[in-house]
Structure 1
């Protein structure tokens, strides 16, 4: 096992990122197009890249310390992915039914879902993550990081054609984009999308003590955010097929992640529960989101936007608390009370000793 250092600010931001994922899946949030775009299609879209770069960073740190860590990680995460794939299997079957697909092709459709896009719309993350890690490890054994950055960056540029497809209209590139999109269905996958973030996570893990990652991080983060904001304006005015890609997001997420790692804010706090809540918010929210939409839709009422978000967030949080009840009521609280009592007694003992010495 790798003893994980406490990163309270990272835990807080990852919780916010998990909430942002729910926000993305709730349709149109508000009537104002600019506000909706800002909430859903800009900073909320940084959530998944943050998860990818964070996961790959800690994986590489673990692999650097223990050679068997990678195998153990894949075994554990693979089991977790299969479990949630089975939970959402009815949704996947319903999706195939809605496509008017022949039942004979259901096994092939479900296999594609399991290995590529997930049995539910949020589970694509795991096939993308696993394939990116495999690809990064394979190339890393044969080439250096410069080559990895070049190839992953190039593939990311190709994938970004999905976001910038409006610029390709009436050009010779439109034919190539259409052919690519018809073949891969979406470029938000392990080759075009998550590959660059996994490479960056590995890079930070191996070179986090370098001057580039240690100096003026907040300034670099600020400049990348400015660039990101300008790019978002361009995307808003020229909206393509989707908005998963942002050319400046790898820079934003890299410096944001490093800033969170280096932060001393709340350094004595432990947000173990937020870490757990983040995980369950991610996995459980489509279950409640789809049930709410179906239940309300049964009565001929459409629910969307912020009302759907808040109801989904509330029910998911409530159910997560039920799952985490044992951990909430036992391990963290007992440990916290024990440490609090120990610290108070130590402080009181020290005061008494000082008082006795002053009297003597």
Structure 2
């Protein structure tokens, strides 16, 4: 496998960023509700776990090789988060003023969201990532790689704990301590950090830990195993839809039982096909995907708000997706051609 940065991973970033936009615009919901479930809920559910896995893979690799500057990486993530939070909070403030909302409540809520839940709904990724990197860094400083190994297995146990609390599984509700935690108001905040962010990030540990076995695995076997586990993930999604509400099934797939195995073998296939000749294109894909992920909810809100003010009825879910997709692709591509501090925060 190529030891340099993997181009195929960065190219797939863009596919998954598009998937996130599909999910947040409910693409095809106006066409067929069931079709939309698979296209805009099931497939995109692997997007953010994939982003965590990328960061975890390279971060853990850096720890193993003693080539990671934790403080620098954490500072970089916080800077991006703060930059985009300022943009989103400015827009939110304008809406709050328009709606005559309480400024005290607005400020208190925004501070809480910034620290625990993400300053905007898709930025839970940043809060979970920041806390995860802090946890991993502290464990590494105290216990080195032995501690990281233990943390990796603990993270998988936490993931199973969250899965047991899904509506379509529900076994955890028969265990009183588990049920107590599931019913906490802060459970979903905790789940995002400890049961999602941490396990997806630590998947990168296992990919590094078993890199020798991965290299020896045939490409055919890796592909077959991905197809098998992704098929099981889809079957799980069908089961979830048939045994719980549309909304619950969509949300609970975030901790689907077969998510991590499918994600792992997807990643393994990408590691086996690094596509170095597409490096330049992959850099553009990475930057466009970042911009698309950061800005798309703002564009969605602007479009929907504008449509409401102008009483426009043709902005269906699919139309909104197409508009956001085109804008983010074009602007993201243009920005990817520039350099500088501000640009680096945007892409």
The two structures have a TM-score, normalised by structure 2, of 0.81
Q: Does 1:276 align with 2:287?
A: yes
Residue in structure 1 matched with residue 45 of structure 2 by the alignment? 45
Aligned residues: 322
Residue in structure 2 matched with residue 219 of structure 1 by the alignment? 224
Aligned-residue offset at 1:267: 3.5
CA distance in 1, matches of 2:64, 2:172: 46
Alignment CA distance shift 1:318-1:162 (3 Å) = farther
Alignment CA distance shift 1:168-1:202 (3 Å) = closer
Q: Write the mapping of 1:205-244 to structure 2, written as runs, cut at 5 A.
A: 205-209=208-212, 211=213, 214-215=216-217, 216-239=221-244, 241=248, 242-243=251-252, 244=254
Structure number with the bigger relative contact order (C-alpha 8 A, sep ≥ 6) is 2
Residue in structure 2 matched with residue 176 of structure 1 by the alignment? 180
- The secondary structure found in structure 2 opposite 1:191 is helix
Higher helix share: 2
Pick aligned residue for 1:200 from 181, 193, 203: 203
Q: Would you say the 8 A contact 1:22–1:285 is kept in 2?
A: yes
Q: Does 1:290 align with 2:293?
A: no
Q: Would you say the 8 A contact 2:288–2:328 is kept in 1?
A: no
Larger deviation: 281-290 or 234-243? 234-243
Q: Write the mapping of 1:18-57 to structure 2, written as runs, cut at 5 A.
A: 18-27=17-26, 29-30=28-29, 31-57=31-57
Aligned-residue offset at 1:36: 1.0
Aligned-residue offset at 1:309: 0.4
- The secondary structure found in structure 2 opposite 1:247 is coil
Aligned-residue offset at 1:160: 2.8
Residue in structure 2 matched with residue 8 of structure 1 by the alignment? 7
List alignment gaps of at least 5 residues for structure 1.
328-360
Report Cα offsets for 1:104-154 as digits up to 9, x if no partner.
233331221111222211111011111122223334544545533442122
Q: Would you say the 8 A contact 1:281–1:320 is kept in 2?
A: yes
Residue in structure 1 matched with residue 60 of structure 2 by the alignment? 60
Q: Would you say the 8 A contact 2:118–2:127 is kept in 1?
A: yes
The two structures have a TM-score, normalised by structure 1, of 0.79
Aligned-residue offset at 1:85: 1.0
Alignment CA distance shift 1:213-1:304 (3 Å) = farther
Q: Write the mapping of 1:75-86 to structure 2, written as runs, cut at 5 A.
A: 75-86=75-86
Residue in structure 2 matched with residue 151 of structure 1 by the alignment? 154
Residue in structure 2 matched with residue 247 of structure 1 by the alignment? 257
Alignment CA distance shift 1:229-1:139 (3 Å) = same
Q: Which has the larger radius of gyration?
A: 1
Larger deviation: 155-164 or 38-47? 155-164
Q: Would you say the 8 A contact 2:165–2:173 is kept in 1?
A: no
- The secondary structure found in structure 1 opposite 2:183 is helix
Q: Would you say the 8 A contact 2:7–2:276 is kept in 1?
A: yes
Q: Would you say the 8 A contact 2:116–2:189 is kept in 1?
A: no
